[in-house]
Amino acid sequence: MRSVVVFEVAPFMSFTRRQILTGIAGLAVVGLGAGGASRYWMGRRESEAGSDFVLIAAPLDVELVAGHKTPAWAFGGSAPGTELRVRQGEWLRLRFINQLPVETTIHWHGIRLPLEMDGVPYVSQLPVKPGEYFDYKFRVPDAGSYWYHPHVSSSEELGRGLVGPLIVEEREPTGFAYERTVSLKSWHVDEQGAFTEFSVLREAAREGTAGRLSTLNGIPQAVIELPAGQITRVRLLNLDNTVTYRLNLPDAEAQIYALDGNPVKPRPFGDEYWLGPGMRICLAIKAPPAGEEISLRNGPVRLGTFRSVANNDAPGKWPPELPANPVAEPDMANAEKINFNFEWVGSMSVNTDNGKPPSLWQINGEAWDITDKTCADRPIARLKLGKSYIFELKNMTQYQHPIHLHGMSFKVIASNRRKIIPYFTDTFLLGRNERARVALVADNPGVWMFHCHVIDHMETGLMAAIEVA
């Protein structure tokens, strides 16, 4: 039986959302002194098991187009950002330093954590202004593949490169001797590497504004080496603003081991897997003989290549099923049902002269205004702490929506469009005109964002708040 996780946060960071909104929590965001940041935590060395990081966001020139520089923004000196690793159940302690010309935050996508650490401006914290830092500290309850990104001016900040992988290692060895992390991202750049518009109104009203240059780990047509004859754990993370990748691996021996961080019973990869923005998939791939290659494709388009290189180790066996994460099982018999309709406003004659983003999308007839700092005071649903719920998700549009919930995991249980093998996730790709049912235990108190992870859908109305109390 699964156990319920108790969410822990450092006492010095404990405050209410109202205190955040009134500025009391500004004490958690501090200007840097002459000494800069160190690996001491608030002036003392931590004794509890965990991982200490200092992460800097700063401008960085990257070469996406050969011979041209692109003025990216980067976490930790690379775009996508530094891969962070921590062990399941331990503390992640990170001092985030903002050296950008704009304010920002870090949201820890898929991590079940306390509200104070969730990185949503004016909901869980104040934005981190240029020249300031913020201390994030929380236990990481679940193993798996996760990622981090801002929740401020998201189209631009994610579009410029402020995304990065967060890998939570299992408590015990899993049987995988080899591992690769692959971050998928398309870039809004032209033939000279200059940025193009991150969000175009006409595209935001459709499938979203896609970049033209696809990369793996920030490299177009990347070649990733795998040890010949061995089984490698390959973590594929969609860190893109918009694109749903129709992933396929022609002629590869591959099995699925986890979806969006949560283990599943291993099964063949099949012909293709649709990986929406914010989603992740963990594969085990058996590499062919040295010198041979496996193509990683988005539909018919090659994204990059896995190349087998010589390896002297004895061939490995397929590892066993990964251990389940401690996510509470919903009480289906007593769960309360709540309907969520995802709708298109249906009008392109939207007034954008008032300084507010246009409202192109709605949830249950309500559009979120990202310029209104009080939107979270009007949650679309109020859940009772500890109670089970079934969400009926209905996509009333002709476009896909990867629906993401902060702070909690939910179990996908049914769809009218496809066969579902139930699994836990934090992001579900709701297809056009699809109806799906997901279930959860409302076990994490707070006000949690619930939104489409096509970023310019989110920014033009397809977001809401859910309160658990």
CATH number of residue 368's parent domain = 2.60.40.420
- The three-class DSSP label of residue 351 is coil
Q: Identify whether 227 is preceded by a cis peptide bond (ω within 30 of 0).
A: no
What's the mean pLDDT in 380-388?
Answer: 98
User: Strand pairing partners for 444?
Assistant: none
Give the pLDDT band (50/70/90) at residue 376. Answer: confident
Measured on CA atoms in the order 285, 288, 292, 298, is the torsion positive or negative? Answer: negative
pLDDT at 290 over 70: yes
pLDDT value of position 356: 67
Residues 150 and 229 reside in one and the same domain:
no
Give the pLDDT band (50/70/90) at residue 352. Answer: low
Residues 298 and 349 reside in one and the same domain:
no
Q: Pull the structure tokens for residue 299.
A: 């539909």
Distance from the first to the final alpha carbon of the chain: 25
Residues 199 and 125 reside in one and the same domain:
no
Residues 373 and 450 reside in one and the same domain:
yes
Residues 272 and 137 reside in one and the same domain:
no
Q: Pull the structure tokens for residue 346.
A: 């249906």
Predicted TM-score of the model (pTM): 0.90
Domain presence at residue 248 = yes
- The three-class DSSP label of residue 21 is helix
Give the tens place of pLDDT for each residue, 434-446. 999 999 999 999 9
Residues 357 and 300 reside in one and the same domain:
no
Give the pLDDT band (50/70/90) at residue 355. Answer: low
Are the beta carbons of 28 and 69 closer than 8 angstroms?
A: no
Residues 226 and 302 reside in one and the same domain:
yes
Give the tens place of pLDDT for each residue, 119-131. 999 999 999 999 9
pLDDT value of position 23: 42
Alpha carbons within 13 A on the beta-carbon side of 387: 15
Residues 18 and 115 reside in one and the same domain:
yes
Domain presence at residue 196 = yes
Alpha carbons within 13 A on the beta-carbon side of 260: 26
Domain residues for the domain of 283 are 178-309
- The three-class DSSP label of residue 115 is helix
